[in-house]
Amino acid sequence: MNYVISPLTQEDEPFLWQMLYEAAHMGEEDHLTLQDAMNHPDLAKYVKNWGLESDIGFVATLITSNQPVGAAWLRLLTSENKGYGYVDDQTPELAIAVLPEYRNQGIGTQLIHHLLAVAKAYYPSISLSIRSSNPALHLYQRFGWKIVDYSDKINRVGGTSFNMKIDFD
Ligand SMILES: CC(C)(COP(=O)(O)OP(=O)(O)OC[C@H]1O[C@@H](n2cnc3c(N)ncnc32)[C@H](O)[C@@H]1OP(=O)(O)O)[C@@H](O)C(=O)NCCC(=O)NCCS
């Protein structure tokens, strides 16, 4: 499969909403729509007004059809506007998703590679929130993310999530 990875721009916001829906696993819940993600304030804060100066992200696009198939992005959500994976005011949170039919083919790995290469120059660390059942745990661990001690909490759907953090030094 041929795809390119390029920086996200403000024009990619509609695709990011779709990716947020995937990242939040809303498709697995009956009757939840993309609009539900957009109406959910704790989720919407990851995408709304995409393109702030502190935002960094990449999109994977199929070369032949120009179709976007995945994205990985960071947003700095500070103490007065905490995200699910908040650790401190200097650490942005990662969100990532690949469309279901394109998963497990290395796209997520490439997106994270690109993101880390740029993010290192701007931030000391990156955090994220992950469900304890998500196989993406291993993907994050391969890059150096570590589970944050005592960060377990009950998530939006009543399961367990915890935070992970990667430090650049
Ligand atoms: C997580 C995700 C972005 C990874 O992208 P990808 O292109 O599938 O990843 P790659 O092919 O580069 O790497 C495969 C790794 O992804 C993870 N993965 C594979 N399928 C997955 C799935 N359906 N859901 C979650 N993670 C998956 C595994 O950790 C796998 O690594 P392994 O070799 O240890 O099994 C993608 O699977 C996805 O969109 N999952 C659903 C949304 C999600 O869970 N987002 C993260 C929330 S914290």
- pLDDT of residue 95 exceeding 90, the answer is yes
Every domain of the chain and the residues it spans = 3-123
Calculate how far, in angstroms, residue 106's C-alpha sits from the geometric centre of ligand 1: 9
List all residues 6 or more positions away from 59 whose beta carbon is below 8 Å from its beta carbon. Answer: 5, 6, 7, 8, 12, 15, 68, 70, 71
The CATH class given to the 3-123 domain equals: alpha beta
State which of 104, 115, 166 you would mutate to test the pocket of ligand 1, scoring each by most atoms of that ligand within 8 A of its C-beta.
104
- Ligand 1: residues with CB < 6 A are 22-23, 96-98, 103-109, 128, 130, 134-136, 138-139
* Average pLDDT, integer, range 79-104: 97
- pLDDT of residue 86 exceeding 90, the answer is yes
Map tokens 């908040």 to a residue: 86
Calculate how far, in angstroms, residue 44's C-alpha sits from the geometric centre of ligand 1: 22
Map tokens 């690949």 to a residue: 98
From first CA to last CA, the distance across the chain in angstroms is 35
- pLDDT of residue 31 exceeding 90, the answer is no
Report pLDDT digits (tens) over 99-139: 999 999 999 999 999 999 999 999 999 999 999 999 999 99
Q: Which atom of ligand 1 is nearest to the CA of 139?
A: 29
- pLDDT of residue 27 exceeding 90, the answer is no
Angular region, 60: left φ>0, alpha ψ -120 to 50, beta rest: beta
State which of 94, 139, 164 you would mutate to test the pocket of ligand 1, scoring each by most atoms of that ligand within 8 A of its C-beta.
139
Q: Which atom of ligand 1 is nearest to the CA of 105?
A: 11
* Average pLDDT, integer, range 73-79: 98
Calculate how far, in angstroms, residue 125's C-alpha sits from the geometric centre of ligand 1: 21
Q: Which atom of ligand 1 is nearest to the CA of 72?
A: 3
Count the Cβ atoms, other than its own, within 10 Å of residue 144: 13
Q: What is the pTM of this model?
A: 0.96
Q: Among residues 62, 47, 36, which one has the least CA distance to residue 12? A: 47
Given a contact cutoff of 8 angstroms between Cβ atoms, the answer to whether 72 and 96 are in contact is yes
Calculate how far, in angstroms, residue 80's C-alpha sits from the geometric centre of ligand 1: 30
Q: How much of the chain exceeds pLDDT 70, in percent?
A: 100
CA 14 to chain centre: 15
